[in-house]
Amino acid sequence: MINPDTTYHVMGLTRYVDDRDFPARGLHCVLFFSPVARGEVRGLDACAARKVPGVAFILTAEDIPGENQIGGIIEDEVLLAGDEVAFAGMPVAAVYAWTEAAAREAAGLIKIDIAEDTPVLDPREAWNRNELIAPARTFTLGDADAAIAAAAYVAEGRAESGAQEHFYLEGQACVATPSEEGNIHLSSATQAPASVQRAVATVCGLPMNRIEVDVRRLGGAFGGKEAQANAWACFAALGAQKSGVPCRMVLRRSDDMLATGKRHPYASDFTLALDGDGKFLAFKVMYYQNAGAAADLSTSVLERTLFHATASYYVPAVHATAASCRTNITPNTAFRGFGAPQAMFVFEAAIREASRVSGISAETLQRKNLLKTGDTFVYGMAAENDRAQRCWDKAYTCYDLTKRMRAIDEVRKREKDTGKASRYGRGYALMPVCFGISFSTIFLNQARAHIHVYTDGSVGVSTGAVEMGQGVNHKIREIVAESLGIAPGQVKLESTNTTRVSNTSPTAASSATDLNGAAALMACEMIKARLFKFMAGEYQCASRDFYLEKGGLYRKGSACGVSWAELVGQAYLSRVQLSAEAHYSTPDLHFDTSVGKGRPFAYHTCGTAYFEAEVDRLLGTYRIEKAYVVHDLGRSINPLIDLGQVEGGMVQGIGWMTMEEMRYTDTGKPLTATGGTYKMPDIFSAPLEMQVKFLADDYNHKAVKGSKAVGEPPLMYGIGAFFAIKMAAGCENAVYCAPMTPERLMGQLRDGD
């Protein structure tokens, strides 16, 4: 079943926010950003800028009619800087002009006088100065210190992972159109229309019912448009509100990369204790999260880090502490995996360190401690099945892993014995993933769907889900089509619109199909119940005897000779309601933040990846040769879409671990905030051979139609690439610093000489 969206993308017919015609009588907004990472603003000179022909007006903090506040979880983020700047790239003034070129020219003429302060860039330094977004949090299980004291082996070390730019192909964008009554319609590239609605209402000083946010689709988001689409929508709305004409705010790539947050870099200290057989006894960890200059979603990201502290393994005693540290870089934000990848990297580093200390191979330690049914996580929930182990074992049999690894081991041993290392080295790594599905913020686990059946039998579906390339629209289309027994082509997925479906959660946490698909299915059931009741009256029989299939009505195994369109037409003439709205909320979720225990996830998505890498030890360059995956998807709604998610997520994870690097000067100015200086993974950096197999025959009772969420978990497979490269290079040291760029690898290879 081919996703029709894909066809439009390939043909170049898909229209994103900035592809629609924008009226000549409309304003373009370009921002003036702080050139300095930290300091006090002494003066702003916009005289020359105002004189540029075509400039309509320039707004600064004091011109905001509502509140100058866009913080979501914590109200600590201003839209426009006032007396202080907190990161290079912080918006200071918004220029509105009749052409984008005029606005950009004017923004370039603005002068700012800042008393520069020394920025804090390192999260450990922020911690030492007690510059925190919120108090540190600790999750515990058992007595970690006692277990460490009694252990046969204790591995201690540090691990660091870097930032990651979302690099959605469609940049941040919003077009705001005012109406004569002072209402504002926004066409926004956001994962969170309700959040844009709330932010715009706050900044414009209007009630939420006057703001309509519409989202057709996004050209990629990956978490980067979850909280951070709000600011740009606010700038467009402010322009429209003040001028009464449409206003367009589209960030060019370099402004987007300068001003938007990335994946949070983390620095961590870990201790992993084992018994003589390699069973994990205790894990102690401290995470220093580089939150940037404002909270954004950092505290929620941090919580997901704590939830995934022990990754896919059972550890009976855990002490995990985490702090969101305030630094002078862009506020970091959601990125596929939402804090879990950072935690899993630390744990995998701890396993390699434990392997060095104990002499037991990493994959022996991994398999020995992999989660099995009944094992408790640090948050008190127990593993409900053995699918983590089944994926691991299936990877071994499907891909003949033992043989592959022994072949590489033999070469390595020969090199060691003879003392002659060849220029090219090979290595491998296994990477299991177990990712909790649901928003850990319980109230967000809700969704609504609104379905209209039109009198010709065609169907329109509105939900809170935002299509960003992950295929949620097509999955919901298939759910609805199957429920109504009609062809997917008869089902239209409407834009995501706050006026049609309100108070929606962001499309995030991999849960859009789980939540919105379930709501859509419920709405279908409501309409079907009414249709069957109506037909039961006509046929003088029980409504439960009916079902819909192949475009028609069936009763007790035989066709009634009434097509779907005829059924709908008759029901309409008899005044049967043909629309329904349903609300779904994930059952049985609870979490007590005061003790850090509960059931925050409906279920877990698991799998195992195996990587082989080859390193050129002279140049420090490498290739990921093989990536073999066994992934548990329950009963997939659309295996082709899910395969795309697994492959795409994994390659994105490999990029994060191996090549993507954000660098700053000592004064906090980004050095890599352009497409030309930031190295992105591309088709040449994808594994030369990629195979993905699904764990068959597993109906997941915790999600719609037995499926499992797929969006984020595969990204974490990419962590395996780091360790495969490390092994291939022969760098058996205690340095666990990602990304493993060729420069860094070359440095390590030279130091080893």
Smallest separation, CB 67 to ligand QUE (Å): 17
Q: Select the residue interacting with ligand QUE from 266, 338, 678, 694 (CB under 6 A).
A: 338
C-alpha span between 549 and 552 (Å, rounded): 6
Q: Are strands 424-437 and 153-161 parallel, antiparallel or unpaired?
A: unpaired
Looking at the Cβ atoms of 72 and 457, the one nearer to ligand QUE is 72
Two structure tokens written together for 157: 């070390």
Instruction: Give the contact letters, 433-472, x = binds to ligand MOS (CB under 6 A), - = no.
Output: ----------------------------------------
Q: How far is CA 3 from CA 8, 15, 160, 556, in A?
A: 10, 16, 39, 33
Two structure tokens written together for 266: 């983390």
Looking at the Cβ atoms of 75 and 751, the one nearer to ligand QUE is 75
Instruction: Output DSSP code: residue 117.
Output: -
Smallest separation, CB 700 to ligand MTE (Å): 15
Report the site for ligand QUE in 217-236 (rule: CB under 6 A): 226
Which of ligand MOS, ligand MTE, ligand QUE, none has residue 73 at its interface (CB below 5 to 8 Å by kind)?
A: ligand QUE
300 near ligand QUE, judged by CB under 6 A: yes
Which of ligand MOS, ligand MTE, ligand QUE, none has residue 133 at its interface (CB below 5 to 8 Å by kind)?
A: none
C-alpha span between 327 and 342 (Å, rounded): 18
C-alpha span between 39 and 293 (Å, rounded): 12
Which of ligand MTE, ligand QUE, ligand MOS, none has residue 702 at its interface (CB below 5 to 8 Å by kind)?
A: none
Report the site for ligand MOS in 256-295 (rule: CB under 6 A): none
Smallest separation, CB 298 to ligand MOS (Å): 13
Smallest separation, CB 119 to ligand QUE (Å): 27
Contact residues for 744 (Cβ-Cβ < 8 A; gap 6+): 620, 737
C-alpha span between 685 and 656 (Å, rounded): 12
Looking at the Cβ atoms of 206 and 301, the one nearer to ligand QUE is 301
Which of ligand MTE, ligand MOS, ligand QUE, none has residue 513 at its interface (CB below 5 to 8 Å by kind)?
A: ligand MTE
- CA 566 from centre of chain: 44
336 near ligand MOS, judged by CB under 6 A: yes
Site stretch for ligand MOS (CB under 6 A), options 7-15, 119-127, 333-341, 420-428: 333-341
Instruction: Output DSSP code: residue 587.
Output: T
Site stretch for ligand QUE (CB under 6 A), options 263-271, 410-418, 503-511, 617-625: 503-511
C-alpha span between 335 and 656 (Å, rounded): 11
Listed residue (701, 639, 710) closest to 1, CA to CA: 639
How many Å is the Cα radius of gyration of the chain?
27
Looking at the Cβ atoms of 375 and 712, the one nearer to ligand MTE is 712
Q: How far is CA 427 from CA 159, 419, 587, 729, 731, in A?
A: 20, 18, 44, 8, 11
Report the site for ligand QUE in 390-449 (rule: CB under 6 A): 439-441, 444
Looking at the Cβ atoms of 344 and 740, the one nearer to ligand QUE is 344
Question: Exposure pattern of 599-624 as b/e (b: 16+ CB <10 Å)?
Answer: ebbbbbbbbbbbbbbbbbbeebebbb
Which of ligand QUE, ligand MOS, ligand MTE, none has residue 297 at its interface (CB below 5 to 8 Å by kind)?
A: ligand QUE
In the chain, the amino acid numbered 299 is T
C-alpha span between 187 and 423 (Å, rounded): 55
Looking at the Cβ atoms of 246 and 469, the one nearer to ligand MTE is 469
Q: What is the dihedral of CA 186, 187, 188, 192, to 10 degrees?
A: 70
Looking at the Cβ atoms of 571 and 633, the one nearer to ligand MOS is 633
Q: Strand order of the sheet with strand 27-33? A: 55-59, 91-97, 27-33, 247-250, 173-178, 184-188, 211-215, 496-497
Site stretch for ligand QUE (CB under 6 A), options 6-14, 297-305, 308-316, 473-481: 297-305
Listed residue (490, 362, 492) closest to 427, CA to CA: 362
Looking at the Cβ atoms of 335 and 603, the one nearer to ligand MOS is 335
Smallest separation, CB 510 to ligand MOS (Å): 6
Dihedrals φ, ψ of 445, to 5°?
Answer: -80, 65
Site stretch for ligand MOS (CB under 6 A), options 162-170, 195-203, 328-336, 398-406: 328-336
Instruction: Output DSSP code: residue 74.
Output: S
Report the site for ligand MOS in 489-508 (rule: CB under 6 A): 508
Contact residues for 709 (Cβ-Cβ < 8 A; gap 6+): 437, 509, 510, 511, 513, 514, 605, 703
Report the site for ligand MOS in 703-732 (rule: CB under 6 A): 712
506 near ligand QUE, judged by CB under 6 A: yes
Q: Which residue has the tokens 């409900």?
A: 384
Residues forming contacts to ligand MTE in the complex (CB under 6 A) are 220-223, 336, 468-470, 472, 507-513, 645, 648, 709, 711-712
Query: Do residues 513 and 476 touch, judged by C-beta distance below 8 A?
Result: yes
Looking at the Cβ atoms of 105 and 226, the one nearer to ligand MOS is 226
Looking at the Cβ atoms of 343 and 508, the one nearer to ligand MOS is 508
Smallest separation, CB 401 to ligand QUE (Å): 32
Smallest separation, CB 508 to ligand MOS (Å): 3
616 near ligand MOS, judged by CB under 6 A: no
Query: Do residues 471 and 455 touch, judged by C-beta distance below 8 A?
Result: no
Q: Select the residue interacting with ligand QUE from 124, 137, 264, 304 (CB under 6 A).
A: 304
C-alpha span between 337 and 343 (Å, rounded): 10
HEC sequence for 434-471: EEEECCCCHHHCEEEEEEEECCCCCEEEEECCCCCCCC
Q: Are strands 491-493 and 459-463 parallel, antiparallel or unpaired?
A: parallel
Q: Which residue has the tokens 């043989």?
A: 403
509 near ligand MOS, judged by CB under 6 A: yes
Listed residue (438, 441, 532) closest to 485, CA to CA: 532
Report the site for ligand QUE in 507-536 (rule: CB under 6 A): 508-509
Looking at the Cβ atoms of 218 and 395, the one nearer to ligand MOS is 218
Listed residue (93, 98, 90, 103) closest to 30, CA to CA: 103
Smallest separation, CB 651 to ligand MTE (Å): 11
Q: Are strands 211-215 and 247-250 parallel, antiparallel or unpaired?
A: unpaired
89 near ligand QUE, judged by CB under 6 A: no
226 near ligand MOS, judged by CB under 6 A: yes
Dihedrals φ, ψ of 97, to 5°?
Answer: -145, 165
Instruction: Give the contact letters, 153-192, x = binds to ligand MOS (CB under 6 A), - = no.
Output: --------------------------------------x-
C-alpha span between 329 and 258 (Å, rounded): 10
Which residues are catalytically annotated?
712
Looking at the Cβ atoms of 509 and 695, the one nearer to ligand QUE is 509
Q: Are strands 317-326 and 280-292 parallel, antiparallel or unpaired?
A: parallel
Smallest separation, CB 479 to ligand MTE (Å): 13
Q: Select the residue interacting with ligand MOS from 16, 280, 335, 534 (CB under 6 A).
A: 335
338 near ligand MOS, judged by CB under 6 A: yes
Number of residues binding to ligand QUE, judged by CB under 6 A: 15
Q: Which residues make up the interface to ligand MOS (CB under 6 A)?
A: 191, 223, 226, 334-336, 338, 508-509, 712
Q: Which residues make up the interface to ligand QUE (CB under 6 A)?
A: 72-73, 226, 297, 300, 304, 334, 338, 439-441, 444, 506, 508-509
